[in-house]
Amino acid sequence: MNAPVQPDRYAVLGNPVAHSRSPFIHAAFAEQTGQSLVYERLLCPLDGFAAQVRAFAASGARGCNVTVPFKQEAFALAPRHTPRAALAGAANTLRFDAEGWWADNTDGVGLVRDIEAGAGLPLAGLRVLLLGAGGAAAGVLGPLLAARPAVVVVANRTAPKALALAAAHAEWAHRHGATLSAGGLDDPSLMAAPFDCVLNATASSLQGAGAPVPARTLSPGALAVDLMYGPAAESFMAWAAAAGARPRDGLGMLVEQAAEAFHAWRGVRPDTAPVLQALRATMPAAR
């Protein structure tokens, strides 16, 4: 008699990781698509990511997601990677292939899909403001530019970080016909005209500070997306709603980035809309 086939194993590795909704999302994708897998959370010591991911791979696991603060380290550990992971300098998805680990970054494509399919706003030809120049902003800028907006402005409290991020993407922006500029949050020349889409990749909302730019940066009915979700996104979304914009949190991006990782691992693309709806139903209602 053959031994029963064990489900393939995946996990999300991070610190902290207890709050992660990825196990819920991947279990829902697996059920929907009939894939046999289990997905767990693995808390890594801050100095122990490499050891833990190696042990997980050696135990026969097939891949993992990686969250803060290990995305740059995950990228560095994998000998093979996608162009978008290289642009971000960070990976949120690893696949443990026989020929070596493969790294991808699905955050940016997840954000673009959520904006275009989830919120119904095609980005081509639009003016987009990206607030922040840390890891979250770096993770999404490449795919954002690939959606061919007319203009992307990267604005950050520490201007040199925004300038460096834009410089690293200059050739990519040119290739996709987008005008990319960058500077400080207080640079009036960058904010002279309003934007169709404002993306908050700063930690300002987490600190209850709304948005770090004035409401005139929003054109009437603009889409305003915080890359975070739950209480962390509330003050930015309240700022956007008060200014007449369309607020959106990062939950749709979370589900879309997971769907892209699931596709990379399993070769099938789940339907994200019912999973986002189910996930929202588990979240405490916004105050």
Least distance (Å) between residue 156 CB and ligand ATR:
5
| Cβ contacts of 186 within 8 Å, gap of 6 or more | none
Residues 13-72 that bind ligand ATR (CB under 6 A): none
CA neighbours closer than 13 Å in the CB half-sphere of residue 4:
3
Least distance (Å) between residue 184 CB and ligand ATR:
9
Q: Three-state DSSP class for 16?
A: coil
| Three-class secondary structure assignment of 88-111 | HCCCCEEEEECCEEEEECCHHHHH
Binding ligand ATR by CB under 6 A: which of 91, 133, 140, 275? Answer: 133
- Catalytic option among 26, 71, 113, 176: 71
**Binding range to ligand ATR, per CB under 6 A, among 23-31, 114-122, 135-143, 265-273:** 135-143
The CB-nearest residue to ligand ATR is 134
The interface mask with ligand ATR, positions 147-176, x = CB under 6 A, is ---------xxx--x---------------
Nearer to ligand ATR, 56 or 236 (CB): 236
Binding ligand ATR by CB under 6 A: which of 38, 86, 117, 203? Answer: 203
Give the burial class of 226: count Cβ atoms within 10 A of its Cβ; 0-12 exposed, 13-18 middle, 19 or more buried: buried
* Residue 202 binds ligand ATR, judged by CB under 6 A: yes
Binding ligand ATR by CB under 6 A: which of 17, 136, 146, 233? Answer: 136
Q: How far apart are CA 71 and CA 153, in angstroms?
A: 24
Nearer to ligand ATR, 30 or 111 (CB): 111
Nearer to ligand ATR, 89 or 134 (CB): 134
* Residue 184 binds ligand ATR, judged by CB under 6 A: no
Peptide bond into 69 cis (omega under 30): yes
Extended strands (E) in the chain: 8-14, 37-43, 63-66, 80-81, 93-97, 100-104, 127-131, 151-156, 179-184, 195-200, 218-226, 246-248
In 10 A of CB 133, how many CB atoms? 25
* Residue 277 binds ligand ATR, judged by CB under 6 A: no
* Residue 270 binds ligand ATR, judged by CB under 6 A: no
Going from the C-alpha of 283 to that of each of 62, 93, 113, 115, 287, the distances in angstroms are 29, 24, 22, 21, 12
Closest CA to 131 of 246, 240, 226: 226
Closest CA to 170 of 198, 204, 141, 197: 141
**Binding range to ligand ATR, per CB under 6 A, among 31-39, 46-54, 73-81, 206-214:** 206-214
* Residue 212 binds ligand ATR, judged by CB under 6 A: yes
Is 71 considered catalytic here? yes
Binding ligand ATR by CB under 6 A: which of 23, 135, 194, 230? Answer: 135
Would you please indicate which residues are annotated as catalytic (active-site) residues? Answer: 71
Residues that bind ligand ATR (CB under 6 A): 132-137, 156-158, 161, 201-204, 207, 209, 212
